[in-house]
Structure formats: C-alpha cells, structure tokens
Structure 1
Amino acid sequence: MGWNLRFFLLGAILMPVEALVEAKFDNFPTDIAVIGAGIGGASSAYYLRKLFGSDVSIDMYEPHSVGGRLATAKIDDKEFESGGSIIHPKNHYMVKFAEELGLKHRKSLPSQFALYNGQEFVFTESSSSLLTLAKLLWRYGWDCVRLNKLIGQTLTHFENIYTLQDGGNAYSSVEELLYAMGGTRFVNMTQKSVTEGLKEEGFSARFINELAMAAMRENYGQTVDIPFFVGAVSLAGAQEGLWAVEGGNKRVPEELVKTAKVNLIPGEVSKVMLDKSGDRPKFLLQYQVKDPNDNQILTEQKGYDIVIVATPLNEGISNITFADLPTPLPEVKGKFHRTVANFVQGKLNAEYFGILDPKSAPTGIMTVNADILFNSIGKHNPVTIPKDYSPVGPESEDAVWKVFSQRPLTDSEIGQLFTVVKKTQVVDWLAYPRYTCPGHLGTFVLHDGLYYVNNIEWAASAMEMSAIGGRNVALLSYNWWHGLDGKVDPGRTTKTEL
C-alpha cells in the first residue's frame, strides 16, 4: 500500500463521518468577507478564524468605526458610553471575550435609582440594600421574588446555547435557535407582550406599569407592549453583578477584530452578486472606498467564497442590494427605533423633581409612562476610571448626565431639567429594532455561503445576543462548507408558524 493511500485512509478514519460522506468542497475557503464591524461582525470574524484556521483571508468592511453601536461620546477629555452600557455576569461570551483579550472590568461606583411618573417619584432606592428591599416588598409585594425566579429560569434555558454551539451546532433561523435554547417557551415569548407574559406569571399591574415599564423605556425606548422575550432580557438588567469594560465596551469588538487578524477595509459595500462563472460559485462584493491620495470615491470589486452580513439590512440603515441569486432574498421586516442620547455636563434641577436638597437627588431617574419628556436620566462616570478617581455628586456642575429621549431635546427643555448647563452633545441614531407584538423571527441563511447576523436582534438586541448570532453564522458557514448537514438545526421535529 502506497504512502498516499495510507495517508488518505488514516485521514478518513479521523475525519467525522458526515464530513467524509457529504463534504461539498475538498479544501478550505480562501477568502471570506464580513460586512460590518460591530459586536456581531467582530464575533463572527473571531469564530471564523478559529474554525477555518490561519490560511483563510478575512476581509472586514466598515466605513465608520470598529464597534458599531458600541461607541463613546467625549466630554472634555473623558469618554462616556453612548451605546450598550452594561453586561450581565452570565453573558458567557462577553465574559469570556474580556478574559481572553485581557480586558478589565470597570470599577463599580455607588448609584441610586428612582422611578418618576412625571409629577413625583413613586419609588426611590435607599443607600441601604436592606431598606431598599423592604421598600420594594412594601410597594410590589412578592413580585420582586417572582422576578428573580423568572430571570433565573430564563437564564437557565438561555445557557443551553453555549453547550450546543460548543458542540458545533448551528441554526438556520432565529426561531430554530430560540427553540434550541428554551423550546416552545422562548418561541412563544416572542409572540406575546411583556404585559401579557408578566400577567400570566402572576405579576401585579403596579409592577408591570412601573418597574417593568421603566426598564423597557430605559433599555429600548419602548413600552411593555414589546415582546416578552426581549422584555425578559431587559428585566435581567435589574439583577446585581452587572459590569462594563474598562476603557469602554467598544474595546471588545476592537480587540476581537485584532485577534481575528482581519484585513480592515474602510469601504461601504453597496452590492453583493452571485458569480457562477468559475469552478464553484463565488460572491462578488462591490464597494466604495475613498482614495487616500485625492479623496475621490472609488468603486471596487472583490470575490469571496463566504460572505457574512453583520449590519442591519432594514430600511433607513443599509443600502446593500443583492443580485443574480436564484431566488429572491427573504423579506427584511421591521424598522429600527430612533433613540437619542443627550449628554449634558451640568447641575441637575432638583427642584423640577420636587427634591429640596440637590445632594440627595438620585443618580438614575427612570420613567414609568410614555408621555414624559425623557425616557431616563442617569449620571455617568467615564469609561476609564483612574485609581484615585472621585465621582462628583448630583449637585455638581461638573457631573455628566445621559438623558435618553425619543428626539433631541431643545435648549429650553434641557433648561427645565438642569439649572446649569456647561456642555451638551447629542448622539442621535437608530439603536435597536422597533419591536412589535407578535414578533417576527427571520433567517440567518440568505443563500448557501451568504449569512446574516442581525436578524437575531428581532428576538432581543443585546451584546450577548449579537455574539451568539456571530458564532452561529460562523458555524453555519463551516458546516455548509464541509457538508456537516447534521449539525444544522439538529433535533427539531416540529415548527411554530410565525
């Protein structure tokens, strides 16, 4: 027996049976494109590199900054989170990324929140955790215990995805992924509102209309009419142990991109075309990039074996078109919700909120109805906190506040909320989906070799969800390339019509 035949047989023994029988291609891809450098695109690139190895070339297209909606705003010489601000301690991927990339947890500083109904505070946190618990029990009864139970159960099911993805499993749609996590429970949670879901769980109208409403307005700028699944993700932010990355949460995608050794192209993709003229199909990307010599906009084109779309394709966000595909793309449903972060350096108008002593003003004010001028007001600390850093109080003119609202606030409106305004900055963007109920759950697969991360946001828009979506499309790519069909949507026998 010749050495070549011996080598082949040894390889066949070691190769998974699925790959041996069904492999579509006899080698690894040479070129992969990732469109978008937010947390979804960055995590996709990270896992693509792990799966396909060092020889494949990964180009990442990003016309703006790495990090996408994980960004900061600068006031004086300090930066403050303008995008995703908190990470749950059970967000496995975000925790793992920080550990692997050597990123530190930001120092936690004391804060005090209150719920405001437009006329008065209906609840104010105390500096004593025991007193706060007593006040919560007095106003909301055992709903606080129910909340911990609900979040605990949700997280227990949620954590199933990590084991499944570690095993190489991938899911063709958001529905399939949610079903793998929590069975019909998670899928059904996308089809009922927060109000409906919490009522079924035994929560009181007061809890729903105050605590739950405040969480939805602060985290998603919307109300308890949004789907229950995204509402549960939002309510998980009420638990202890939340953290953020020293230097800003944007450092996670920045470091993931470096670790993945991508070729970062500062271009904007305008068209994705399927080219069948060669030995095997490829995708041609047409993109615009600025010539560094004369600032002229150049249109260029490049071919890829696999393409990952990691930017929302929804109206108002993306202008990417797709051509020469054998079947039309699945419809991209829904619009994104406008969110405005008004940064104000100045002194809070305590009198506006009926507070006599400005020093006793809460550092976080959440609102409980949709008629109020703002969604929330929070005093923020910089993303980089020196060891000798001493936070200023709510009465200080140097305090920096982030005011979330549905639109930019006028100078007179800012003047109502603050007695002293030293500096302002407005971040106005389409930050997350405009959720409707029942929700819609789209596909990750646009075509063999063409995958879409951002549909996962229609289940819930969060850093961890995007990281899960990023790993899922990397696994879909790998399983498709190697013919591992048994690793896609394993174990599902029935589907829910959505």
Structure 2
Amino acid sequence: MARAARLLLAALAALLAAAAAAAEGGDAPPGRIAVVGAGIGGSAVAHFLQQHFGPRVQIDVYEKGVVGGRLATISVNKQHYESGTASFHSLSLHMQDFLKLLGLRPRRDVVGRSAIFGGEHLVLEETDWYLLNLFRLWWHYGISFLRLQMWVEEVMEKFMRIYKYQAHGFAFSGVEELLQSLGEAAFLNMTQRSVAEALLQVGVTQRFIDDVVSAVLRASDGQSAAMPAFAGAMSLAGAQGSLWAVEGGNKLVCSGLLKLSKAHVIHATVTSVALHSTEGRALYQVRHESDAGPGSDFYDIVVLAAPLPPDDSSGRFAFEGFAPPVEDVRGSFQPTVVSLVHGYLNSSYFGFPDPKLFPFASILTTDFPGFFCTLDNVCPVNVSASFRRKQPQEAAVWRVQSPAPLLRAQLKTLFRSYYSVQTAEWQAHPVYGSRRGFPRFALHDQLFYLNALEWAASSAEVMAVAAKNVALLAYNRWYQDLDKVDQKDLMHKVKTEL
C-alpha cells in the first residue's frame, strides 16, 4: 500500500507539473528526464540535456551494469587495461571537448609497429621509417592507398558539417534526414552499397581491399568489406591520422559527464516505457527492476541510450499505451570478445621462431577464416614517464579481439604459455543489413532513441554526435522551435544567414 501511495503521489506531482507548464504557455522547462543507459551516449546526452534545459531539471540515468558501457577496463596484476573502446580519432571533436571540460588528459602514446597477417604469412609489415612505409604501399598496391585516403577525406569533410549545424542549434528527427543534410543523396546511397563496391569505383584495387581494407574493418567492426560504404568510411577514418586515449581510462569521460550534469544514477533494468496522456504534454512512466524490487517513475522526457538487440537479456522490454505503436528499434548486433592474456607470445606462428626478433606491437588479420581479428601488446590506462613496452621474449599483456571466446587450443596457438586470461564480451556493433531502414531518433513526442545513428555508423564519437542531436531535438520540440528541426539545405542556410 505504501508503494502504491508513493507512485500515486509521484504521478500526481508529474501531472501537476505538466499542467503548470501548459498554463505557462510551454515556457517552463521539463521537471524530470529519464535516460536509459550510462555509456558514452547516455552520459553525453545527460550532459547536453542539462546544458540546454538548465541546472534545475532532474535527470535520472538508468544503468543495469556499470557506468561506461562499452568504455570499460579490466584489471591485470593491479594494472587496468582498456577492454572496450581503446582509442579515439583526432577528429572526434565532442570527445576532445569532453576531455577539456572534465580536466582529463590524453594518455602518453607508446609507439609500436603493426603488421597484417594473412593466415599463413604477414602480407604487410610496418617499419620505423615513414617514407619506407609509403614506398612499400606503392610497390605492392600502386596508388590505391592514396585513392582510399582521398575517398575517406571526402566523406569526413561532409560529415564534419554536423558540428556546425549543432553549434547553431539544428537537430534531426531521423537518421535519413541527418544524412541527407550532410551528404545529400551521396550518404544515403553509401548506406545501400558495400565498401568494396565504392572503393573499386574510385580505382582502389581488389588486392588492396583484400589485404588492407578488410583487415582494418575486421579490427574496428568485426566485419568485412561487404559492410555498407558509409559505416566503412567512418571506420577507415578512425584508422588514419593520430589516435588518443584518456589517461586513467576512457570510461572516466562517462563518469565525469554524469557528475557534471548532477544526474542521479539508478542501478536498475528498465522493463518498459508507458505513455500516460495529459491535456497538455505527454507523460511517460518508466518501469524498472533492481535488487530492491520493481519500481516506477514518471518523466516528461525519456531517452533510450542503449542498443536494443533482439536477444535483449531482460527479454521483457516493451512500449505500452502508444497508439499507433512505437516502431521496432531492435536489430542484430555483432558480438565481440576481448581477451586480455598475460603471457608469452608464440611468435613462431607469425613466422618469427626467435621471439627476440618479433618487432610488432599490433597484428591485424584479413578475412581468411581465422579465429581472431586483432592482437595487441597493450599499455595500461596509466602510462608513467618511465613506462616501456615489454620485449617480445618477455611476458606481456596482450589484447586479443575475436568473434567468439577463444578455445584453449587457440590460446595455445597464439601463446607459448600464459598466466591468466580475462575476457569481456560486447554487443559491439550493429550487423548492418539485419534490419530494413534506420530507426528514428524521435519515437514519440518526447521519447527518443539515441542509438538510431549507430545503424549508419558506430563509434564513441558517433554516439556523442547522436547525443547532441537528441538533446537539441528534445529542446527544440519542448519549446516548439520547429524551425530548428529537419531543415533542408542547411549548408546554404548556415553559410548565408548565420
């Protein structure tokens, strides 16, 4: 009875707040906002929502696991290592802004050489000399690497328009509208054709695609050059230029943003979102379950900031009371297993019988039927000035990325011996093509799906872009500033009017 009375009082308070906002002509800010998921998308949208609506709005962030989502670490011998997203690209402008805002520092880079393994031998080896690396690329693949770089730069130049749009407060209610505004028909067409098709058209050779492009995509997305060209271009951009990570762990960005937004983190599994009609605005009831039992709260705005795969572990998430029904936003995700292995590398598997002569800190693999995607000699999240990589004949911590958990025989293939193996399994990236079309950001009046953009491309920065878009979308719709939503020919407007 006591719980029922509390729920009734909460509903009454929310209804009174909605009525007050309607009476004031809609000028009052929302009273309560719910965000489902505390990964980079959820923490970033909590920050942006607080930034736009002001400090008085109450933001509850529901997280069934740990804060950080796919930004996570694992401890090995009292040192922490990245088990999720390992690094960010220099063009990740939102992530760079978060770093400065939170007073965090980029981690000291420890340089290491890379190679690509084709199943039987290394098909490409990096050296310590930049010009020699360029010569090897030209000798093996002609100017394919230059054509690839030009293609990626053209895509990124158009995608970077999103930061200017967002700086002026523009938002999009759907992924197609966003892509159309950035790249017109070109970006939408790129979601319908493969990376391989797009690159062959601009003169990149099939051999370069098989040897290099496939290895990069396999490392970043666990998929092949058959993936959509737009998603592939974004992943290939992440492999070029300088990369950086956060000193102390990338997940510090998430916890820092939640603290900055003064969000209330609720450790619970959200089981449903139900619509409760009012004369003024919509009101949403979020039902959840935690160790304390089932619960329920009412909100003016709800943001879903976590992927909803068909095999969602709760198995009970539902939208209730919506007419017409909310669109199905579920889709299949690519599982990725990250294994942190403390041991001695079996360098002879890669053609180096003497481990002292093995010069590489990172091994990528091509699309041969292999059991692992990447192998990296990783540094801890805290890199001191005196830190050095372990020599190849020494026991080191290696990060192995694979599509499935490594079997004992597979571990024995990669390592002469090992002390420990710790794993993390992620629903890391959408399986592109497993659903038709893109989900929309706006599922209802003030109900939003942040991860919709992940179905066009997937990365931490893409989630931050989606978070900013959803926060602006919620703000513009709340105050009925619809001139800032789904505007066409935005590039022309930004150039001539603003």
| TM-score above 0.5 | yes
Question: Which of 328, 331, 336 is the equivalent residue of 1:334?
Answer: 331
1:478 partnered with 2:475: yes
Of stretches 101-110 and 364-373 in structure 1, the one that deviates more from structure 2 is: 364-373
Indicate if the aligned counterparts of 1:311 and 1:454 stay in contact, CA closer than 8 A.
yes
Indicate if the aligned counterparts of 2:308 and 2:331 stay in contact, CA closer than 8 A.
no
Provide the alpha-carbon RMSD of the alignment: 1.7
Which residue type is aligned with residue 483 of structure 1?
A: Q
Q: What secondary structure is seen at the aligned counterpart in 1 of 2:443?
A: strand
In structure 2, the partner of 1:301 is 296
1:244 to 1:390, Cα distance in 2 relative to 1, 3 A: same
Separation in 1, partners of 2:99, 2:436: 32
For 1:366-405, what aligned pairs fall within 5 Å after superposition? Answer: 366-397=364-395, 399-405=396-402
In structure 2, the partner of 1:209 is 210
Question: Which of 409, 414, 419 is the equivalent residue of 1:412?
Answer: 409
For 1:103-252, what aligned pairs fall within 5 Å after superposition? Answer: 103-252=104-253
Indicate if the aligned counterparts of 1:375 and 1:405 stay in contact, CA closer than 8 A.
yes
Separation in 2, partners of 1:485, 1:325: 23
Length, aligned pairs only: 464
Q: What secondary structure is seen at the aligned counterpart in 2 of 1:475?
A: helix
TM-superposition CA deviations, 1:30-80 (whole Å, max 9, x none): 111111101111111111001100111111111211111111111111111
TM-superposition CA deviations, 1:342-389 (whole Å, max 9, x none): 211111111111113313322111111240121111111111112221
Which residue type is aligned with residue 282 of structure 1?
A: L
1:439 to 1:365, Cα distance in 2 relative to 1, 3 A: farther
Which residue type is aligned with residue 393 of structure 2?
A: E
1:316 partnered with 2:311: yes
TM-score w.r.t. structure 1 length? 0.90
Separation in 1, partners of 2:66, 2:435: 34
Separation in 1, partners of 2:296, 2:414: 51
TM-superposition CA deviations, 1:387-444 (whole Å, max 9, x none): 22122122211x1111111111111210111102111112122111112389732200
1:24 to 1:310, Cα distance in 2 relative to 1, 3 A: farther
In structure 1, the partner of 2:20 is none
In structure 2, the partner of 1:19 is none
TM-superposition CA deviations, 1:297-320 (whole Å, max 9, x none): x11111100001101122123642
1:349 to 1:439, Cα distance in 2 relative to 1, 3 A: farther
Separation in 2, partners of 1:472, 1:280: 21
Which residue type is aligned with residue 310 of structure 1?
A: A
Structure 1: 4+ residue segments shifted above 4 A:
none
Separation in 1, partners of 2:198, 2:151: 11
Q: What secondary structure is seen at the aligned counterpart in 1 of 2:133?
A: helix
Indicate if the aligned counterparts of 2:148 and 2:199 stay in contact, CA closer than 8 A.
no
Indicate if the aligned counterparts of 1:71 and 1:249 stay in contact, CA closer than 8 A.
yes
Separation in 2, partners of 1:156, 1:437: 28
Indicate if the aligned counterparts of 1:226 and 1:437 stay in contact, CA closer than 8 A.
no
Indicate if the aligned counterparts of 1:346 and 1:423 stay in contact, CA closer than 8 A.
yes
Of stretches 177-186 and 219-228 in structure 1, the one that deviates more from structure 2 is: 177-186
1:49 partnered with 2:50: yes
Identity of aligned residues (%): 38
Separation in 2, partners of 1:439, 1:115: 34
Which residue type is aligned with residue 461 of structure 2?
A: E
Indicate if the aligned counterparts of 1:175 and 1:442 stay in contact, CA closer than 8 A.
no
Of stretches 315-324 and 43-52 in structure 1, the one that deviates more from structure 2 is: 315-324
Indicate if the aligned counterparts of 2:331 and 2:434 stay in contact, CA closer than 8 A.
no
In structure 2, the partner of 1:271 is 272
TM-superposition CA deviations, 1:137-181 (whole Å, max 9, x none): 111111121122122212211110001011111101111111222
Separation in 1, partners of 2:236, 2:185: 20
Which residue type is aligned with residue 63 of structure 1?
A: K
Indicate if the aligned counterparts of 2:363 and 2:374 stay in contact, CA closer than 8 A.
yes
Separation in 1, partners of 2:240, 2:110: 16
Separation in 2, partners of 1:207, 1:195: 10
Query: Any unmatched runs of 5+ in structure 1?
Result: 1-22, 292-297, 494-498
1:305 to 1:449, Cα distance in 2 relative to 1, 3 A: same
Indicate if the aligned counterparts of 1:310 and 1:454 stay in contact, CA closer than 8 A.
yes
In structure 2, the partner of 1:454 is 451
Q: What secondary structure is seen at the aligned counterpart in 1 of 2:71?
A: coil
Which residue type is aligned with residue 428 of structure 1?
A: E
> 1:474 deviation in Å?
0.7
Q: What secondary structure is seen at the aligned counterpart in 2 of 1:363?
A: strand
In structure 1, the partner of 2:33 is 32
